[in-house]
Copies of this chain bind each other. A is one copy, B any other.
């Protein structure tokens, strides 16, 4: 559906460029950036064409120059947000595990930076089949496949490794966001109150974990998960490590 992030309709009137436009001409990136800002501030449900138009000081209908529909706009902002991620590549003489770790943390940081956008980032691509996705979205996939092939996986193995890694990453971040509470100050008390409500007989474990649940060190959690995943993958590589 959506092309690359930047794809402007060329104005046909060549003199249009000479003329002074109202303020400045609007680029697709501008629109997407504003949309992301709006979602960050007030959530996805607050994103409407009219509001976005208002935020940009433009007629809402103008937005359809830059996104063919709201669906397309949503795809666009997801693509835009994800494009901030560096494409993972093992540096010269670098460590593939370290690369995966860095990539995972970068992804997590991005999701935490845009918590309102995260659900979209995870589920939006469901709409468009893999083969039809914009190139920008597929580049990280290719890079990861390349990484795995580089350490000895065959094609099939690389694909499976990718799916395991990416699946884990998505899930882990979703999980962290789920346990997150808007106001971190009240969270402890609120959590405690919430857990008090649970019948003791039915939920002994959960109630006992109140303390642990209150502090969620996402980065650490991610790393510990990666320990497991990477340990599972390591034996299948031909790198310098074990068999």
Residues of A that sit less than 8 Å from B by CB: 118-119, 122-123, 125-126, 129-132, 135, 138-139, 141-142, 145-146, 149, 155-156, 158-160, 163-164, 166-175, 177-182, 187, 190-195, 197-199, 202-206, 208-209, 212-213, 221, 224-225, 227-229, 231-233
Contacts and interface: CB of A to CB of B under 8 A. Distances in A.
A184 to B, nearest CB: 11
A129 B166 contact: no
A221 B155 contact: no
Contacts of A123: 119, 122-123, 174
Copies of the protein in its oligomer: 2
A158 B205 contact: yes
A167 B164 contact: no
5 contacts: A126-B177, A129-B179, A135-B199, A145-B205, A163-B225
Of A167, A181, A202, A232, the most chain B CB neighbours within 10 A belong to A167
Nearest to A164: B225
Contact of A163 (B149, B155, B221): B221
Contacts of A171: 166-172, 174
A227 B169 CA distance: 17
